[in-house]
Amino acid sequence: MPNDTSTDAELLAAAAVALNRHSVVLGELGRLFADAGHDLFLVGGTVRDALLGRLNMDLDFTTDARPERIQQIIGAWADTLWDTGIAFGTISAAKGGNQFEFTTYRADTYDGVTRNPEVRFGDTLEGDLVRRDFRMNAMAVRVIPSGAGEFVDPLNGLADVRAMVLDTPAEPEVSFGDDPLRMLRAARFVAQLEGVTVSPRVREALERMAPELSRITAERVAAELDKTLLGRNPVAGVELMVDTGLGEVVLPEVGGMRMAIDEHHQHKDVYQHSLTVLRQAIDLEDDGPDLVLRWAALLHDIGKPSTRKHEPDGGVSFHHHEVVGAKMTRHRMRALKYSKQMVSDVSQLVFLHLRFHGYGDGKWTDSAVRRYVTDAGPLLSRLHKLVRADCTTRNKRRAARLQADYDDLEHRIAELAAKEDLQRVRPDLDGNEIMELLGIPAGPQVGRAWTFLKELRLERGPLSRDEATAELLKWWNATG
């Protein structure tokens, strides 16, 4: 990442080194487009990331060639070609395990009412660059038969990279008025690019124009929120959204946690506590960014403001905030058009995050442990991380005790798992056996009997077939 002493020459040298690693594929593409009589440029995030020393194997290009012509030029070269973005001038390709995106110069116009532009293809690189979201994303590198060539920076995006600041090519009012989604992209880039801030004029525009985000479809908002949460520093992106009012439009429950003092009085407010939990959950990830875990960490306490109660002794309580929070989570994520699975997973983690806090008194039976595992299901490993991340007390003795208690719970889970299949707790008799033993057809009575046996299994652990049969018949006779 650039520092205060970075010079343009140093940044360009770093970019040259990064792009040189792709010299073979760049040379091949440069030759293909040159032979076809078209220009080709690396553009946008690819150039920015090369300057920042974080370039990956996926490259973005822009060209004067129209989409159908792009297909002709690279059709034989690419391993795979797809045209899902062709209406917007984009052709995607894969070769050698890497992905490439080619977009025709754009010169779109916007009606100022909807999100969708009137797609128009442009004729110049400069016209394409000036319509991009931020100046640091509006740089290009010419691709020639020998690889990477001329660096093109008509809007001085290099200076913004050196300063690590986000600013718009045109006035922010014009850029955000054309496409309000760019305001959320500001939060995304702050989260993705460590150390990046927004310029004063961009920040002022975000604060003033935040209501314009209501023009954006829920699906596109959700996509930007996900990219923000998956960034290197999602807390910075969330803080920008909340501080500027963007969050009030797209995720009001998060900012709504401010000033809801938590019951331990250890943090400024529940909002800051939740950001700390998000940071700590990220530290516990062991296989790359986990979007479900990060959403759950951010939202786990959103039920606190509406359940806050001032107690006679001067304390503050938030009884059943996990139940209310799970309901609020489902409502918000459904409004953002998330999948049923995503909504279910995140809301279930929110619902379960507080259950552990009755374990330390030593009263959990094996039955309680089984129910904890069963209710978590495939989310158990995430629940482990969320509960541990939720320990943010500054009291070192209390923090150590909480972590020791959870170590003990995980040990008990492992012990029970060694004796019985905790991941698939099912009745000891299946539906067919129930119908045969009770002499009843398929129907609601079988379901009630199945539920009884599952509850018995959770309470007592595995039973032999004879034991399960005896208990079922006893229950059946008692119910008449």
In a structure prediction context, what are the per-residue pLDDT tens digits for the chain, which is 480 residues long?
666 556 889 999 999 999 999 999 999 999 999 999 999 999 999 999 999 988 988 899 999 999 999 999 999 999 999 987 787 889 999 998 889 999 999 876 555 555 555 667 878 999 999 989 999 999 999 999 998 999 999 999 999 999 999 999 989 999 999 899 999 999 999 999 999 999 999 999 999 999 999 999 999 999 999 999 999 999 999 999 999 999 999 999 999 998 756 555 544 589 999 999 999 999 999 989 999 999 999 999 999 998 888 778 767 778 889 999 999 999 999 999 999 999 999 999 999 999 888 776 667 888 888 889 888 999 999 999 999 999 888 888 888 988 888 998 998 888 887 776 656 667 767 888 888 888 888 888 888 888 888 877 777 777 788 888 888 888 888 886
Does any domain span residue 73? yes
Write the CA distances from 407 to 226, 374, 401, integer angstroms: 31, 19, 10
For residue 104, the model assigns a pLDDT of: 94
194: region left, alpha or beta (phi > 0 left; psi from -120 to 50 alpha): beta
Does any domain span residue 100? yes
For residue 212, the model assigns a pLDDT of: 95
Write the CA distances from 225 to 124, 182, 191, integer angstroms: 32, 12, 10
Question: Rounded to an integer, what distance in angstroms lies between the CA atom of residue 383 and that of residue 412?
Answer: 16
For residue 33, the model assigns a pLDDT of: 97
Does any domain span residue 64? yes
Question: Rounded to an integer, what distance in angstroms lies between the CA atom of residue 172 and that of residue 167?
Answer: 8
Q: At what angle do helices 218-229 and 291-299 cross, to 10 degrees?
A: 100
Does any domain span residue 349? no
Count of structural domains within the chain: 2
CB contact burial 152-191 (16+ within 10 A = b; e otherwise): bbebebbebbbbbbbbbbeebeebbbbbbbbbbbbbbbbb
pTM of the model: 0.84
Does any domain span residue 148? yes
For residue 88, the model assigns a pLDDT of: 80
Does any domain span residue 109? yes
Listed residue (109, 106, 111) closest to 89, CA to CA: 106
In the listed set 111, 131, 163, which residue is the last one of a domain according to the structure? Answer: 163
Question: DSSP letter at 144?
Answer: E
Which pair of structure tokens corresponds to residue 94? 């894969």
For residue 267, the model assigns a pLDDT of: 45
For residue 303, the model assigns a pLDDT of: 95
Question: Rounded to an integer, what distance in angstroms lies between the CA atom of residue 223 and that of residue 200?
Answer: 26
Does any domain span residue 396? no
In the listed set 119, 135, 163, which residue is the last one of a domain according to the structure? Answer: 163
Counted residue by residue, the chain has a size of: 480
For residue 242, the model assigns a pLDDT of: 97
In the listed set 118, 142, 163, which residue is the last one of a domain according to the structure? Answer: 163
Does any domain span residue 51? yes
Residue 459, domain extent: 426-478
Listed residue (465, 477, 380, 373) closest to 425, CA to CA: 373
For residue 358, the model assigns a pLDDT of: 73
- CATH number of the domain bearing residue 87: 3.30.460.10
How far is C-alpha 336 from the geometric centre of its chain's CA atoms? 13
